[in-house]
Amino acid sequence: MKYLTLKIKIVSLALEASYIRKQEQKLFPTRNTRKKYRKLLRNNSITDQERKKIDIELAKAKNTELRELKWDIRKHRKVDISRESRAAQLAYGFLRGKKYKSLEQNVSYIKSCDLNIVKIARIAHKFGNFDQDIEELEKEIEKWIRAD
């Protein structure tokens, strides 16, 4: 119960990412879907209403503005939300006294360079009851990460 608000933040970030993924799939047909649509159009075994729907879907795939929107949405999900979620998870583990190695066992060098200690410290400071400065908390988190 102590860190319930942080746990809610973590769950809401996960739900946001899954919602964005579902919207991406709705708005932007995949390559396989486009192939299937083209095959249906060649067969002429569909109604005019289905043909119009398929034409709209194929036009979406060619629209450059929609493509830019697609990549903006994808970047937000894969970069922004992902980093925020990771920082929140690590802050939650830090506050609960878990070892860093138990939270991230198979971290590659690239991902470990991507670690934002400042963001983790801000989240931990916000959701934990700390009397110390954020700078001191950052040092403590660095020690926590480097500890075996």
Write the DSSP string, 20-88.
HHHHHHHHS--HHHHHHHHHHHHHT-S-HHHHHHHHHHHHHHH-HHHHHHHHHHHHIIIIIIHHHHHHH
Tokens, residue 3: 């860190």
pLDDT 10s digits, 72-130? 888 999 999 999 999 999 999 999 999 988 888 776 654 556 688 999 999 999 998 88
- Rounded to whole angstroms, the Cα distance separating 66 from 86 reads 29
8 A C-beta contact, residue 10 and residue 88? yes
CA–chain centroid gap for 129, Å, is 27
Q: What is the pLDDT of residue 96?
A: 92
The pTM (predicted TM-score) of the whole model is 0.74
pLDDT 10s digits, 4-61? 999 999 999 999 999 999 888 877 766 676 677 777 777 766 777 777 777 777 776 6
Tokens, residue 89: 């998870």
Q: Please identify which residue in the block is written with the tokens 């939650």.
A: 92
